């Protein structure tokens, strides 16, 4: 079965609130069998005109990633992230 990948590029506007989000979210990801492939680290903008924070998560399937994103476990942390940042989040099926 193809894996599900959640890719987020986030511009943080409230660093303190975003740090609280970062403390809460890993346990929710683990609970759904997900893992971080990319979380922070060195980044170079090759095209475009912004340099957001990039995160890539891998789940066993597209459906499992979708289930996590819309879960009650992630509801509160997601609201915290959305209040502390702006960005794009996509879910893709991969290999």
- Read off the pTM: 0.92
Q: Tell me, yes or no, whether 15 lies in a domain.
A: yes
pLDDT digits (tens, 9 = 90+) for 50-78: 778 999 999 999 999 999 999 999 999 99
| CA count, 13 A, side-chain hemisphere, 40 | 3
The enclosing domain of 19 has a CATH number of 3.30.70.100
pLDDT digits (tens, 9 = 90+) for 29-38: 999 999 999 9
Q: Tell me, yes or no, whether 47 lies in a domain.
A: no
Q: Which of 43, 62, 64 is nearest to 52 (CA)?
A: 43
pLDDT of residue 51: 76
Domain count, the chain: 1
Host domain of residue 26: 4-41+52-93
Q: Tell me, yes or no, whether 68 lies in a domain.
A: yes
Q: Tell me, yes or no, whether 46 lies in a domain.
A: no
């Amino acid at each position: 079965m193809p894996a599900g990948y959640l890719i987020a590029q986030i511009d943080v506007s409230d660093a303190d609130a975003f740090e609280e989000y970062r403390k809460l979210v890993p346990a929710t990801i683990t609970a759904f069998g997900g893992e971080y492939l990319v979380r922070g680290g060195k980044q170079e903008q090759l095209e475009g005109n912004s340099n957001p924070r990039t995160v890539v998560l891998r789940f066993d399937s597209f459906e499992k990633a979708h289930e996590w994103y819309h879960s009650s476990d992630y509801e509160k942390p997601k609201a915290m992230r959305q209040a502390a940042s702006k960005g794009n989040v996509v879910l893709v099926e991969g290999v």
